[in-house]
Amino acid sequence: MRYELYYWTGIQGRGEFVRLALEDAGAPYTDVAREQGDQAIMPFLRGQRPGAQPFAPPFLRAGRQVIAQTANILAFLAPRHGLVPASAASQSYALQLQLTITDIVAEAHDTHHPIAVDKYYEEQRPAARQRAASFCGERMPKFLGYFEHILERNDGRHALGRRHSYVDLSLFQLMAGLEYAFPRTMKGLRRRTTHLRALSERVADRPRVAAYLASPRRLAFNEDGIFRHYPELDEA
Rounded distance between C-alpha atoms, residue 25 and residue 80, angstroms: 9
Nearer to its own copies, 101 or 209 (CB): 101
Reference 212, options 24, 4, 12; nearest CA is 24
Nearer to its own copies, 99 or 204 (CB): 99
Residues forming contacts to its own copies in the complex (CB under 8 A) are 47, 52-55, 65, 67-69, 71-72, 75-76, 89, 92-93, 95-96, 99-100, 103, 106, 110, 114-119, 124, 127, 130-131, 133-134, 138-139, 143, 146, 149-150, 153
Nearer to its own copies, 80 or 217 (CB): 80
Nearer to its own copies, 74 or 176 (CB): 74
8 A C-beta contact, residue 70 and residue 16: no
Nearer to its own copies, 68 or 84 (CB): 68
Rounded distance between C-alpha atoms, residue 146 and residue 201, angstroms: 19
Nearer to its own copies, 170 or 209 (CB): 170
Smallest distance from its own copies to CB 206, Å: 25
Q: Identify whether 141 is preceded by a cis peptide bond (ω within 30 of 0).
A: no
Angle between helices 140-153 and 88-112 (to 10 degrees): 160
Smallest distance from its own copies to CB 227, Å: 18
What is the pairing mode between strands 3-6 and 29-31? Answer: parallel
Smallest distance from its own copies to CB 188, Å: 19
Smallest distance from its own copies to CB 4, Å: 16
Smallest distance from its own copies to CB 174, Å: 13
Reference 108, options 55, 193, 177, 195; nearest CA is 177
8 A C-beta contact, residue 85 and residue 160: yes
Smallest distance from its own copies to CB 215, Å: 29
